Amino acid sequence: MEATAPLVVKPSNVKELAESPDLRCIPYNYVYDSSNSSATNDIDDSDSIPIVDFSLLTSHDSHQRSTAIHHLTKACQGWGFFMVVNHGIPENLMKSVIDCTHEFFNLPEEEKHKFTGKHVLDPIRYGTSFNTSTENVFFWRDFLKVFVHPHFHSPTKPQTYRGIMSEYSEKLREVTRKLLGGISESLGLEESYLEKDLELESGLQIFVGNYYPPCPQPELAMGMPPHSDQGLLTLLIHNQVGGLQVQHQGKWINVKALPNYSLLVNTGDHLEIFSNGKYKSNMHRAVVNNKVTRISVVVAHGPSLDTIVKPASPLMEKENSPSANYIPMKYKDYLEMQQSSRIYGKSCLEKVKIQRS
């Protein structure tokens, strides 16, 4: 008998859908109209993504450090996206993070559904697509989001998850703190300026596991539509399966497997606001394939929830930025605003951007 897909399904997750026997067509409400996307569909396989050597940034040799800061400046200005090498996070820890995240998605449905959250500020939230309450078209992706700082949370299964997540998030916080110190300097501010101004000590850190199962019609579906991340920096790793694409000069660039367990860093909306538009948040998306499951782990680092984020005052005093280009907004309010809107491009950031004609 010829298998046909249901016309429309309201999914609780895409893993089950992908595993349904003889699924050859995707349901209608998973068909993504890519003409919505603001970039052309040129795909470039590029080896030119900027690289930041973390060991130079933390070097006591001031020449090496300024080389790293120079690389950071160029990466933030030209791309909003870079790879970090020599970050010192053990490979086996990164591997365990991916494996444990995969195991979580393989748990029985009832176990995962304990975390079916509704609100963006729920500390542990399992779900599908992006925000099924505001979307008509669903994305080929399940997710787990866990707040790991300033208060640490973790699902209790798989059993080893808690220890692994806790160690990984602490190490990433340290890497992020140093990167943001360098970025602060690259803006002509003191190394600790950004950290103090945005209260990173109690900054929000969110661990996101993404699960993209094989899709029978990958060219019609989308794992995650074009978007920029909220927050300052997001650090991404994946199970060496391609799918992430970043936008650069109007083209989509395929990010292939990551060499030597490097970390992929995206600059977020709040870094754009803080820098008064000098460092634009990066647009990226995730496409899917018909062969293997892709797992990514994305850790977002933001200000503390109660911080009012606005362009850094010393930057306003400089000649060529006489006025703020963004409206001040409490970080928490921004997250809630994002939750209540449909995800497309940089639509959220546009709401706080001051339009000048």
Q: Which is nearer to Ni ion, 58 or 281 (CB)?
A: 281
Residue with tokens 């190490």: 171
Does 284 contact ligand OGA by CB under 6 A? Answer: yes
Q: Which residue is nearest to Ni ion (CB)?
A: 229
Q: Give me the least distance between CB of 266 and ligand OGA, in Å please.
A: 7
Contacted entry of Ni ion, ligand OGA, none for residue 286, CB cut-off 5 to 8 Å set by kind:
ligand OGA
Q: Which residue is nearest to ligand OGA (CB)?
A: 296
Does 296 contact ligand OGA by CB under 6 A? Answer: yes
**In this chain, which stretch among 13-21, 221-229, 270-278, 335-343 interacts with Ni ion, using CB under 5 A?**
221-229
Q: Give me the least distance between CB of 194 and Ni ion, in Å please.
A: 21
Does 286 contact ligand OGA by CB under 6 A? Answer: yes
| Interatomic CA distance for residues 77 and 55, integer angstroms | 21
Q: Give me the least distance between CB of 223 and ligand OGA, in Å please.
A: 7
Q: Give me the least distance between CB of 110 and ligand OGA, in Å please.
A: 25
Contacted entry of ligand OGA, Ni ion, none for residue 208, CB cut-off 5 to 8 Å set by kind:
ligand OGA
199, 304 Cβ separation under 8 angstroms: yes
Q: Give me the least distance between CB of 354 and Ni ion, in Å please.
A: 25
Does 229 contact ligand OGA by CB under 6 A? Answer: yes
Among 210, 276, 281, 307, binds ligand OGA (CB under 6 A): 210
Structure letter (DSSP) for residue 249 = T
Residues that contact ligand OGA, how many (by CB under 6 A): 10
Does 301 contact ligand OGA by CB under 6 A? Answer: no
Does 269 contact Ni ion by CB under 5 A? Answer: no
Q: Which is nearer to Ni ion, 229 or 269 (CB)?
A: 229
Among 142, 185, 197, 229, binds Ni ion (CB under 5 A): 229
Is residue 168 classed as helix, strand or coil in its secondary structure?
A: helix
Rg (CA), the chain: 20
Q: Give me the least distance between CB of 228 and ligand OGA, in Å please.
A: 9
3-state secondary structure 44-108: EECCCCCEEEHHHHCCCCHHHHHHHHHHHHHHHHHCCEEEEECCCCCHHHHHHHHHHHHHHHCCC
- In sequence order, the 6+-apart residues with CB closer than 8 A to the CB of 142 are 13, 14, 15, 105, 126, 127, 128, 210, 211, 213
Residue 43 tokens, joined: 């795909």
55, 256 Cβ separation under 8 angstroms: no
Does 189 contact ligand OGA by CB under 6 A? Answer: no
Residue with tokens 């990164």: 94
Q: Give me the least distance between CB of 123 and ligand OGA, in Å please.
A: 17
Q: Give me the least distance between CB of 276 and ligand OGA, in Å please.
A: 24
Q: Are strands 81-85 and 43-45 parallel, antiparallel or unpaired?
A: unpaired
Q: Which of 56, 54, 46 shows the shortest CA–CA distance to 78? A: 46
**In this chain, which stretch among 133-141, 179-187, 228-236, 348-356 interacts with Ni ion, using CB under 5 A?**
228-236
Distances from the Cα of 352 to the Cα of 19, 273, 294, 333, 341, angstroms: 41, 9, 34, 11, 14
Contacted entry of ligand OGA, Ni ion, none for residue 210, CB cut-off 5 to 8 Å set by kind:
ligand OGA
| Interatomic CA distance for residues 316 and 322, integer angstroms | 6
Among 56, 84, 208, 273, binds ligand OGA (CB under 6 A): 208
Read off the amino acid at residue 177: R
Read off the amino acid at residue 194: L
The kind and range of the H/E element at 333 are helix 331-339
Q: Which is nearer to ligand OGA, 57 or 264 (CB)?
A: 264
Contact set with Ni ion (CB under 5 A): 229
Contact set with ligand OGA (CB under 6 A): 208, 210, 224, 229, 243-244, 284, 286, 296, 298
